[in-house]
Structure 1
Amino acid sequence: MKNVNWVRKLTSRKLWTAAASFVSMMIVATGGTENTAAQVTALIMAGASVVAYIIGEGLTDSANAGIEVGVEIEDAEKEV
């Protein structure tokens, strides 16, 4: 079985749109109102934005963890 890239999956807008659409249609199919379905869809998409942001920031931080930023300070005694 191939390895699944979960980071890519969880940050995919297609995945979250499909999940929100599925839940929305299930709410309407089971007798819920369209207003309720729209509110739940909005909550799912808002949660998806938060998940994507957190994962993206984590990847950025981990990529930058190995990079050292240094400032060279010239020794005043050597210039004299």
Structure 2
Amino acid sequence: MKKINWVRKLTSRKLWTAVASFVSMMIVATGGAENTATQVTALIMAGASVVAYIIGEGLTDAACIEDETEK
């Protein structure tokens, strides 16, 4: 069984686009306004940007620390 690379999954734009699309379609399908769906989609994508940035910076910092300990 292969290990799932959660860091790669959580920083994937495809994943967050799919999540945002699913949520917005569910809002519209359950009778919500398209304006609400658009706002929720924007919030999800903004949150995804923050998550990707935090994970990316954490990986960069970890790689920098590893390089310093090897010297």
The TM tier, using the shorter chain, reads over 0.9
Indicate the residue corresponding to 1:49 in structure 2. Answer: 49
Percent of paired sites with the same residue: 85
Instruction: Return the TM-score normalized by structure 2.
Output: 0.93
Task: Structure 2: give runs of 5+ residues left out of the alignment.
Answer: none
Larger radius of gyration: 1
**Larger relative contact order (C-alpha < 8 A, sep ≥ 6)?**
2
Instruction: Return the TM-score normalized by structure 1.
Output: 0.83
Q: What CA RMSD, in Å, does the superposition of the two structures yield over aligned residues?
A: 0.7
Residues 31-59 of structure 1 show CA distances to partners (whole Å, capped at 9, x for unaligned) of 00000000000000000000000000000
> What is the aligned length?
68
Deviation at 1:67, TM superposition (A): 2.7
Q: Identify the structure with the greater helix proportion.
A: 2
Deviation at 1:2, TM superposition (A): 1.1
Task: Structure 1: give runs of 5+ residues left out of the alignment.
Answer: 69-80
